């Protein structure tokens, strides 16, 4: 790995906020692409954090401080990932489903959607089905996006779709889902309109669904 990316990777693994920021700045100064910095220096480090957690080398506090370094780094990288002056492409309400506190992936999806000209209503984490329903009722959104990182919270995606259906909004919005344990098969199973494996594919998915309307 490039030495700048490797320093950034280590800083995120160590939960070193200042090191992560310095690492991003120095990778940008060296002319590395923001997308490469994100994928190879940052997302790869979070995967390694998960691996260490599974192996019992890291515990929740280490995951948490790595996440802080990641979030701080994303703040710095954000202006480089989004394009300026794009016209409104539609409105998306996004949230991490009930019971789930993971928000890095969800924030990244929100950031990329904004960058592509979508107006984004970020409902945060641990979002109960009724809050998604309220957002549809009050904000006139075209698309609702759910994120889940835990196998135990994935069923809340289905519960949220059911709540949207019961409230009479199912035909008014497109529903898209994602998150590490989520699959296209699961999206089909619960009746979502689409699934994407990562943030940039979430943008093309949202664009293509709105073209269908």
Enumerate binding residues for ligand B1M (CB under 6 A): 43, 46-47, 49-50, 53-54, 60, 63-64, 67, 99-106, 108-109, 145, 147, 149-152, 176-181, 196, 198-199, 202
The smaller minimum CB distance to ligand B1M, of residues 63 and 76, is found at 63
Count CB atoms within 10 A of the CB of residue 64. Answer: 11
How many whole angstroms separate alpha carbon 96 and alpha carbon 127? 6
In angstroms, give the least distance from the CB of 44 to ligand B1M. 9
In angstroms, give the least distance from the CB of 132 to ligand B1M. 13
The smaller minimum CB distance to ligand B1M, of residues 7 and 74, is found at 74
How many whole angstroms separate alpha carbon 152 and alpha carbon 146? 14
The smaller minimum CB distance to ligand B1M, of residues 81 and 163, is found at 81
How many whole angstroms separate alpha carbon 143 and alpha carbon 135? 11
In angstroms, give the least distance from the CB of 192 to ligand B1M. 9
In angstroms, give the least distance from the CB of 204 to ligand B1M. 11
78 closest CA partner among 109, 57, 48: 109
Phi first, then psi: give them for residue 30, nearest 5 degrees: -80, 0
Q: Where are the alpha helices (DSSP H) in 37-179?
A: 44-54, 60-81, 104-115, 129-139, 155-166
How many whole angstroms separate alpha carbon 63 and alpha carbon 46? 8
In angstroms, give the least distance from the CB of 198 to ligand B1M. 3
The smaller minimum CB distance to ligand B1M, of residues 31 and 56, is found at 56
The smaller minimum CB distance to ligand B1M, of residues 82 and 150, is found at 150
């Amino acid at each position: 790995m490039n030495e700048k990316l490797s320093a950034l990777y280590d800083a995120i693994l160590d939960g070193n906020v200042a090191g992560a920021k310095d690492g991003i700045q120095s990778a940008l100064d060296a002319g590395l692409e923001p997308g490469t910095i994100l994928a190879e220096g940052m997302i790869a480090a979070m995967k390694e954090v998960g691996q260490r957690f599974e192996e019992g080398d890291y515990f929740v506090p280490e995951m948490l401080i790595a996440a802080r370094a990641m979030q701080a780094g994303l703040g710095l990288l954000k202006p480089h990932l989004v394009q300026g002056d794009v016209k409104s492409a539609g409105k998306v309400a996004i949230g991490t489903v009930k019971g789930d506190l993971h928000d890095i992936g969800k924030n990244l999806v929100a950031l990329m959607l904004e960058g592509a000209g979508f107006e984004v209503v970020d409902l945060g984490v641990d979002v109960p089905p009724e809050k998604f329903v309220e957002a549809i009722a009050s904000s006139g959104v075209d698309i609702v996006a759910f994120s889940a990182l835990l196998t135990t919270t994935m069923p809340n995606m289905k519960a949220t779709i059911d709540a949207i259906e019961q409230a009479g909004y199912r035909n008014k919005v497109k529903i898209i889902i994602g998150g590490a344990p989520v699959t296209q098969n699961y999206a089909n199973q619960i009746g979502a309109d689409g699934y994407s494996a990562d943030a940039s594919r979430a943008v093309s998915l949202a664009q293509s669904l709105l073209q269908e309307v």
